[in-house]
Chain A
Amino acid sequence: MSDLPLIQADRAVEPPAATTTTGGRGRRLRLLSRTDRVVITLMVLVPLLLVTALVWLPALATVLLSGTDWDGIGPLSDIDFVGGRNYSDVLTIYPPFLPAVRHNLLWLAVLFLLATPFGMFLAVLLDKELRGSRFYQTALYLPVVLSLALIGFVWQLIYSRDQGLLNAVLGTDTDWYGDPSVNIWAVMLASGWRHVGYIMLLYLAGLKGVDPSLREAAAVDGASEVKSFFRVVFPVMRPINIIVLVVTVIESLRAFDLVWVVNKGRNGLELLSALVTQNVVGEASRIGFGSALATIMLVVSLVFITIYLATVMRGEDR
């Protein structure tokens, strides 16, 4: 979207204002009446203030708090900076931290290595002209409209020890949500169930955007379907691939509802997000720990958010 044609068009409409030879920005502003300028300012400022006050300033405050010993209750004037102590404490005297990191990484690995490729695979199959494709698609992304909290309850009917379907069918006596050696897998299966549908939807849209002549050309060259997908179609979908990667990372980092519903993120279900929350609203409120954990999440997410923005905004300023 270039600015230039618009300015020239404006000049044709309003000759007196546009005969000045100042820079582009000045010229544009001069074409706007005072009311227009006030309106534009308000249109941007009100939402910007809201987002700054409720998202960006709290994010910044989290980073600052992670370097202090604030207890969350006392007056702000009592705050002392303690440098990296919260971080070293998190590493040394906070037992749930390492399991939480491990679980978050496991979560990412399962979504990324199993759920995402499976969703992509289904999208490729559904992209063929198939009768009943609509039904298959609907069934697959139905879980996407359910909240993760609700999904926790739906799967409880399968996982519960005494009343669950799984134990009834397998003849086992496992508490799938409660046993710390299996519950993270049980929860991840439920989470993957939803993730597959979402990924399938994104790739289905991506595949429809691929120029069919590319595939035809590959077919003419004698490439097999598999080969033409990996050599031609997949590389063309690069933007979607990056978006899916970022979505998957962010989802794994944000994973919260499901474990909170099951047992508030304890006993085998530790996740960074749940630890932060426990440290704020739980019985033992440790603001320093919580902020240090939250800052770690923030930094990781910002890396991937930057990748995301670079992808989706490519060519925006041209």
Chain B
Amino acid sequence: MTATAIRPPAAGEVSPPRRRLTPQRVVLHVFLAAVAIGWLFPILWAVLTSFRSYEYTATNGYVSLGGWTIDNYVTAWRQAEFGQHFLNSVYITVPAVLLTLFLASCVAFVIARFGWKLNLVLLGLFTAANLLPQQALLIPLFRLFTQVPLPAFMSDSELLYDSYWGLILINVAFQCGFCVFVLSNYMKALPRDLYEAAMVDGASVWRQYWQVTMPLCRPALAALATLEVTWIYNEFFWATVLMRTGDKFPVTSSLNNLRGEFFTDNNLVSAGSVLVAIPTLVIFFLLQRHFVRGLTLGASKG
């Protein structure tokens, strides 16, 4: 994603120009470095604080060095039952992302493959659904979720409310729109001859979708999967209002419960925060390319 990869070198130069360091450039670098460090600072501060003992910082203040320890992590992990909450996040995120990508790619395929007038309405309905404020749907949804029964083997609440199923469904319904939008743009850019060739071979619509279109969409699917894992893992609102049992909360919304317990110990809060951030940071550093492409695919037309 660096600029040099995109820009052709200026005319007459074969290799990328070796920049001389003009005073202007120095100022630019100093400014950007200062901003970048300023931007990283809150995160670095959290990491730093998480490795220091409460006793040390309580006596010496936070603007000091020393008191290094990893006890905060041990305590935070145990007190907040992070193991369970991480597992809950997995139970919700993995099925929700897979289902979102599957359903969205189905709709996107129909929109991109066929030129029906209704497709535009369909695309609008899905895309707009993703942009509505969640709170605007809360009241009827809350009522709906507390009325829909589930068999006991699916959820011990025996309701859609306070169940993983409910959270998975609402996340899928909400995230579908963005994926339909991105995927349909991506699919429209695929060469049409592919389908003609597939039709000569007598391929059914399903085979055209599954064996022709989907393999070609791998880059877009990878970008969306990265983005959706991050978003659904980070989702806070639905889990906060549609869950009740404390040990069923996914990690992000269980944070709010930690606050009371950790209120007086910021070092513990920071250790908890770092633990919660780790999965998204790992995704960010390993799959940064996909993450960035997913975001920009959504903004610029494919």
Residues of A within 8 A of B (CB): 1-3, 5-6, 9-10, 13, 25, 28, 32-33, 35-36, 39-40, 43-44, 46-48, 50-59, 61-62, 65, 72, 122, 125-150, 153-158, 160, 163-165, 168-169, 193, 196-198, 201-202, 204-206, 208-209, 212, 239-240, 243-244, 246-247, 250, 253-254, 256-257, 260-261, 272-273, 276-277, 280-281, 287, 290-291, 294-295, 297-298, 301-302, 304-305, 308-309, 312-313, 316-317
Write the nearest CB–CB distance from B115 to chain A, whole angstroms. Answer: 3
B124 neighbours in A (Cβ, 8 Å): 309, 313
- Docked CA distance A97–B300 (Å): 36
With A149-B252, A156-B269 as known contacts, state yes or no: A212 contacts B7, CB within 8 Å: yes
Is the Cβ of A55 less than 8 Å from the Cβ of B129?
A: yes
Nearest CB in chain B to that of A61: its residue: B140
A153 neighbours in B (Cβ, 8 Å): 255, 259, 269-270, 272-273
Is the Cβ of A48 less than 8 Å from the Cβ of B42?
A: no
B128 CB-CB contact with A under 8 Å: yes
Partner of A157, one of B45, B116, B137: B45
B154 CB-CB contact with A under 8 Å: no
Is the Cβ of B39 less than 8 Å from the Cβ of A129?
A: no
Is the Cβ of A298 less than 8 Å from the Cβ of B133?
A: yes
Is the Cβ of B140 less than 8 Å from the Cβ of A56?
A: no
A254 neighbours in B (Cβ, 8 Å): 133-135
Is the Cβ of B269 less than 8 Å from the Cβ of A58?
A: no
- Report, as a range, how many residues of chain B touch the other chain: 35 or more
B152 CB-CB contact with A under 8 Å: no
- Docked CA distance A101–B246 (Å): 32
With A136-B35, A313-B124 as known contacts, state yes or no: A43 contacts B209, CB within 8 Å: yes
A-B contact pairs, 30 of them (CB 8 A): A35-B204, A40-B110, A43-B106, A47-B107, A47-B180, A48-B107, A51-B173, A53-B173, A54-B173, A55-B132, A62-B140, A125-B28, A131-B19, A133-B3, A145-B280, A146-B43, A148-B234, A148-B236, A150-B252, A163-B57, A168-B62, A198-B295, A201-B296, A208-B3, A254-B134, A260-B256, A294-B133, A297-B136, A298-B132, A312-B127
Is the Cβ of A297 less than 8 Å from the Cβ of B204?
A: no
B126 neighbours in A (Cβ, 8 Å): 47, 51
B56 neighbours in A (Cβ, 8 Å): none
Number of A-B contacts (CB under 8 A): 331
Is the Cβ of A122 less than 8 Å from the Cβ of B35?
A: yes
B299 neighbours in A (Cβ, 8 Å): 202, 205-206, 240, 243-244, 247
Nearest CB in chain A to that of B230: its residue: A145
Partner of B2, one of A48, A134, A140, A154: A134
Q: A143-B42, A149-B256, A212-B8 are in contact. List 17 more A-B contacts (CB 8 A).
A: A1-B188, A6-B115, A44-B122, A50-B173, A129-B4, A137-B1, A145-B291, A149-B253, A153-B270, A154-B43, A154-B46, A202-B295, A239-B300, A247-B299, A281-B241, A297-B136, A304-B131
- Docked CA distance A211–B104 (Å): 32
- Docked CA distance A169–B247 (Å): 38
Partner of B135, one of A136, A168, A272: A272
B68 neighbours in A (Cβ, 8 Å): none
Nearest CB in chain A to that of B241: its residue: A281
B114 neighbours in A (Cβ, 8 Å): 28, 40
With A46-B106, A58-B141, A305-B131 as known contacts, state yes or no: A276 contacts B255, CB within 8 Å: no
- Docked CA distance A149–B259 (Å): 11
- Docked CA distance A243–B104 (Å): 22
